[in-house]
Structure 1
Amino acid sequence: MSAYVDGSSDAPVTAVLVHGLSVTADLWRLHTPHLTAQGMRVVRYDQRAHGRSTRGTAPITLDQLATDLAHIVQELAPHGPLVLAGHSMGGMILQTLTTLRPDLRPRIHGLLLISTPDGPVATRSQAGARNRLVGFGRDLLAGACTRAPAAVDAVRHRLPRSSPWALSTTGTPPETNTPPLACRRGLHHAATRDVAAFWHALAASGPRPVEGLRSLGPRLTLLAGAGDTHVPAGHTRALAARIPEAHFALVKDATHALPVRHPDLIVEGLTRYATAATPALDPDPDPAPETFDPPLRTH
């Protein structure tokens, strides 16, 4: 599992940032310098089968992805206060983590869930002719990935490398001490059968438990983009409604790319929680970054 750590090793608070489907830890490139400048240590990582992380052999489920995250925390931030942020699938993983690992809850001084749905992710999410057409296209793609992954792989091999859906035959780069792959290259080394497995994990029916999130109370904030067509704001609002003490914020001019278009909102939220956790937190205007690929394995 490829992870990237920035900031001082003796920072009083660690921020752990969790990306969603099809991107890499590079999603958080705009946030990391500002968080380290506030005196925090920042941990990012590539999900299994994303970026520089290998696929491993375990089934792809939300429980497994949450277990991966727990391993990251244990290896890279085993002690001290935590502030966490997750986007889309990353938010679903954090929600699962708070359920599976109640022992971590006292350490979580703030949690941001960004564009996180209440329940399964669907291909068809909103009314309107354009959205119906987009949903139909997603249905076709999801069906092809599930029923004919080898055929889709053959097409992906022929796509230009600039395409986010291109499939590379060279495998994940072995270098260490390097930054994450570009955000759009999240699936360049992920076989189509694994992409389908991620999709099925996110689309599994049935409500997800919120007991872990409820235990955080006001330490939880949910952000949604009013123009998000992937995870409509109403889905995130519905999740917030199940957690009375949580904060909910609707960002009027935001889409599913909310973390990239509005990084200041994530930085401000995490900084507020970190300051509450350690009032003596001293901003460090010139932090010394530490970026590496620790010896973590994907099971």
Structure 2
Amino acid sequence: MPRVGLFIPCYIDQFYPDVGLATLEVLEQHGCEVDYPAAQTCCGQPMANTGCTDAAVPLAERMINVFAPYDYVVAPSGSCVAMVREHYTDLLPLTNKLQEFQAKTFELCEFLTDVLKVDSISGSFPYKVGVHQSCHGLRELRLARSSETVGDDFDKARQLLKSLDGISFAELTRTDECCGFGGTFAVHEEAVSCMMGRDRLADHRAAGTEVLTAGDMSCLMHLNGLNQRHAQPFPVMHIAQILAGRQPEGITPVNSTDGSVA
């Protein structure tokens, strides 16, 4: 039984605790022994993104030490995992300890598909789902094939979701466009960030999205802020919540075969 250290990003801890609980449930359902080390803090990504790299160094060092006892570190966030795997070498000397920590740190969907070899999830989710691909997960962790690359098509989030009974997917015009959040970019370039987010939501609405999901709650937080200002907002859920069996609020399931209310 793999021993997993659950890493919960700051914004999930503060604003979306159910995403953390859902992640725990999914991991335990698939045979993991999960522990939440209470000494964990921020991974340092906000500081590094803003150019305050000196402030990020002690946070990176703390992360490595806090999660040292575990076989794996799993987080419901592509951006935080990308920070560890792709950018800790910008902050710290390249040691065996750092490399071992980077090698055992995974985003949730990636861990399920690549490490645990999960090929199906039991349950029902009879809605048309729009999957948002976050930039870090797509182009740094390679959780799906980006549109500018050539090769076999793959998408680790959809690979897991497609096994749920009744689910269908919204097919977007621009499959992997940025939502505009970008961490502190959304603060310093508010107008541009909001326009990008509205473009993403318009694409989802045109494609018939009933429930919007993603592997990064930071992207969803930004998109849902704009979504809630729309006359007809749709539910927004982190993929961990869907995989854990949560159902969206505010919409009625429809039988996918005959259109009748389930």
Q: Would you call these one fold, judging by a TM-score over 0.5?
A: no
Normalising by the smaller structure, the TM-score range is: 0.3 to 0.5
Query: What's the TM-score, normalizing by structure 1?
Result: 0.32
Question: Whose relative contact order is higher, 1 or 2, with alpha carbons under 8 Å and at least 6 apart?
Answer: 1
